[in-house]
Structure 1
């Protein structure tokens, strides 16, 4: 099993008052039901005010690296990623669960 974790940080001038941020959040919340192969899917806004904190988190568990690759290329995932690309940068880690 692979745990796929993504942390998003808004680009300067973007916050949760921006409708694009809300749209990206809502799309990401649907990834778990729209993209096959995910055993679990979690996401949410950060509640920490620390300077090192990111703004949003998404995490999914998949069978293996080929399943991660299928997830990454799924059209719904691609659309969600495109929404984030406009407003945020992110980091990713894939670890054996």
Structure 2
């Protein structure tokens, strides 16, 4: 199995309740029903207020590297992730477990 972690940091001045951010979160929350490769999925806002913390996290899992590639290229994933480029930056980690 491959764990796919993503941590998002909202850009300076961007608020969680902005319509584009709310729509971005809703798009990510809808992915499990749209992408068969996902074996595990959770996403949520960070609940702590620390300078080094990111704002939003995705924790997901797929079977293998081929499934990860299909997930990343899936149109629903591309549509969900694309708008985040306008208001956030992110880091990822993919590892076998």
Unpaired runs of 5+ in structure 1? none
Q: TM-score, normalised by structure 2?
A: 0.96
- Report the equivalent of 1:91: 91
- Take 1:31 and 1:7, find their aligned partners in 2: how far apart are those partners? 17
Large movers: runs of 4+ above 6 Å: none
- Take 2:62 and 2:11, find their aligned partners in 1: how far apart are those partners? 29
- Take 2:28 and 2:12, find their aligned partners in 1: how far apart are those partners? 21
Root mean square deviation, CA, Å: 0.7
Unpaired runs of 5+ in structure 2? none
| Number of aligned positions between the proteins | 97
Deviation at 1:16, TM superposition (A): 0.8
Q: TM-score, normalised by structure 1?
A: 0.96
C-alpha contact (below 8 Å) 1:23/1:83 kept by paired residues: no
| Other structure's SS at 1:8 match | strand
- Take 1:52 and 1:4, find their aligned partners in 2: how far apart are those partners? 21
- Report the equivalent of 2:51: 51
- Take 1:35 and 1:14, find their aligned partners in 2: how far apart are those partners? 29
